Amino acid sequence: MISNKVKENDNIELIKFDEAIELVKKVSDNTLAKSPLLIREYTKHLMASKGKYIRAMSVIICAEDNEGLIHPNAVKIAAAIEILHLATLVHDDVIDNADIRRGDITLQKKYGKRTAVICGDYLLCTALNLAASISNKQDYLELDMHDYIGKVCLGELNQHINNANLNLSVYQYLKIISGKTAALFQASFYAGAVFGGSSKEECRRYKQLGYYVGLIFQLTDDCMDFENTEEIAQKPVQSDYEQGVITLPLIHTLKSMDSFSRKARSTGVSREEINEAVKAAGGLVFTHMVVKKYYDKAEKVIRELEIPENKKLKLRAVLKKASRLS
């Protein structure tokens, strides 16, 4: 139930944590369900495929005050970020020509690429409208949502430009995923901190934590392309290279094995050859080491935050979820 505590100066009742999480899902679903009739069939299809709400949950956790209460504006922002994330997935599926997502048929597979692209654009607009509907416009302006969306788009474009680039460096790759994946996690952690009334220094730390969590999420996802089956991952696996996407396990392998690198550049390599080379060169071991490095950095930020231990436990749960440890 809603707490009787009222935030100073705005007469808005704050919400308990569990209720806030449920409200995020409700607001997100209701927003999609109330889409114009012309597009409702498509948004209904997307509603049937539920994600883990890791970004939305991050907003709510970071927005929690010392008494475990959350401002309702954080719920709207969390729902907006979830819809924004859904928009990026719709566009990703078009780019990757993916047939399944979260275990269900993708929008582009069922309705076609043009319809999916337009629906993705509509979801982006919907997310921005929802975010702009919060009661405190100054908080919305401070979030710079458009800036984070721009980083996501530039990250995706940077990845596309570097498709099949066998000379991609570790630094270049980390820059790509800093935009296409980590930026939205940064926005989630930062937004929560803003609505939680954190100081500017605390907001900076939360933003840094979001960055680390985003990198961990993507790098672990890179490993899943080699380690998991399609049934477990609930999306295509063994497909990054086929889509021209060069990820960290392969980058390390190309740098470590000259003979493999030469063949990849001249005649090309099969998926079986890639799997064998990545295993022989320790590409997955290397990537997991990088994940561990960022995991330790994230853990250090959590330790240094002056927040209740219960909130630290929730942040650690998100960290573990990003690294697929839970």
Residuewise pLDDT in 10s, the chain (326 residues): 333 343 444 567 899 999 999 999 999 999 999 999 999 999 999 888 777 899 999 999 999 999 999 999 999 999 999 999 999 999 999 988 888 887 789 999 999 999 999 999 999 999 999 988 887 766 656 777 778 889 999 999 999 999 999 999 999 999 999 999 999 999 999 999 999 989 999 999 999 999 999 999 999 999 988 886 555 555 555 677 777 889 999 999 999 999 999 999 998 898 899 999 999 999 999 999 999 999 999 999 999 999 999 999 999 999 999 998 75
Closest CA to 301 of 216, 175, 184: 216
* Phi, psi torsion values for 6, nearest 5 degrees: -120, 130
d(CA 84, CA 211): 17
Give residue 5's pLDDT: 41
- The secondary element (H helix, E strand) that includes residue 5 is strand 2-6
- Quick one: tokens of 152? 């996501």
Distance CA 146, CA 160 (A): 21
- Strand pairing report for 100-101 and 13-16: unpaired
**pTM (two decimals):** 0.90
Per-residue pLDDT, 299: 98
pLDDT at 7: 46
Residue 53: DSSP 8-state:
-
Whether residue 216 contacts residue 291, with contact meaning beta carbons closer than 8 Å, is answered with yes
pLDDT at site 2: 36
CB atoms within 10 A of CB 27: 20
Q: What is the pLDDT of residue 173?
A: 96
Give first-to-last CA distance, the chain, whole Å.
28
Q: How many other C-beta atoms lie within 10 A of the C-beta of residue 313?
A: 11
The DSSP call for residue 4 is: E
Domains of the chain by start residue, with CATH: 9-321 (1.10.600.10)
Helix (H, G, I), strand (E, B) or coil at 134: coil
pLDDT at 252: 97
162-183: b or e for each residue (b if 16 or more CB lie within 10 Å)? beeeeebeeeebbebbbbbbbb
